[in-house]
Amino acid sequence: MKKSIFQLNTRTVVTIGIGAALYGATSFIGIPVGPDTSLRPAIALLAIFGALFGPVVGFIAGLIGHVLNDVLTSGTVWWGWALGSGITAAFMGLIYVSKGFDPQNGAYKGKHIGLFIFYGIVGIILSLLFSGWFDIAFMGEPSDKLVVQVTAASISNIIVFLVLGVPAVIGFARRNAKVSNLSVNE
């Protein structure tokens, strides 16, 4: 059953906490594909947590996870990129609000997958543009360098999202559909 996305009950609190921990724990791992860029499974986790629990949980979990990971592994918080993680997850979570989509009970249609991919790609590009802008505005980084970084990061995040995130959500929904495929016999 779906509840209002802004209501914080015990389950959402725990989900945010565990989601953030999972994002933080997997952020360090990835397949490097270029300078400062790697294919990180963490992006797929943002997609999954967004789709299963909604944009608000996704945003907070992404933000907290990124901040804690930054603090524990580098000692410095990159606020622009941390907010970027949150924004990505929030966009991916928009699918949760659309009617008839409920992966917890295995309910989804073809158009939901299309929408999910659309939200995800838009979210990734927008959030990385935001992170890049943040670095230019507050850190005083040169814009040309950030164009390179943002492009590389967008491409690798979109790949992970499409190859890992989308299939994982569909797989999760399918698996739940099988379990609930029973009818009441009166």
Partner 1 sequence: MNRTGSLYVTGSSLFHRLDGAVKLVLFMAWTVMTYMFLDLRVFVPMLAVGIVLLITAGIPFKRMAFLFWLMIIFTVLNAIFILLITPTFGTRLTGTDTPVIPVGYNTINAETLFYVLTLSAKYLTLLPISILCIFTTQPSAFASSLNRIGIPYKIAYAVSIALRYIPDLTEEFRSTLNSMQARGMGISKEDGSIKQRLRNLAAVVVPVLQSALHRIDSVTNAMELRGFGTQKKRSWYSGKDMEPMDWTFAVLALVLLGVGIWLKVAMLKGFWYPFS
Instruction: List residues near partner 1 by CB under 8 A.
Output: 8-11, 13-22, 24-26, 29, 31, 33, 35-36, 39, 41, 44-45, 48, 60-61, 64-65, 68-69, 71-77, 79, 138-142, 144-145, 148, 159-160, 163-164, 167-168, 171-172
CB 156 to partner 1: min, Å: 11
Token pair 């629990």 is at which residue?
53
CB 111 to partner 1: min, Å: 24
Residue (9 or 105) nearer to partner 1, CB: 9
| Chain centre to alpha carbon of residue 156 | 14
Residue (74 or 185) nearer to partner 1, CB: 74
Residue (32 or 114) nearer to partner 1, CB: 32
Residue (71 or 97) nearer to partner 1, CB: 71
Residue (29 or 97) nearer to partner 1, CB: 29
CB 1 to partner 1: min, Å: 15
76 Cβ neighbours under 8 A, 6+ residues apart: 70
Let me know if 148 is exposed, middle or buried by CB neighbors in 10 A (0-12, 13-18, 19+). Answer: middle
CB 13 to partner 1: min, Å: 5
Q: Report the candidate in 10, 92, 11, 82 with the shortest Cα–Cα distance to residue 58.
A: 92
CB 126 to partner 1: min, Å: 22
> What's the rounded Cα separation, in Å, for the pair 127 and 97?
20
Alpha-helix runs per DSSP H in the chain: 10-27, 42-53, 55-74, 79-97, 110-134, 143-160, 166-179
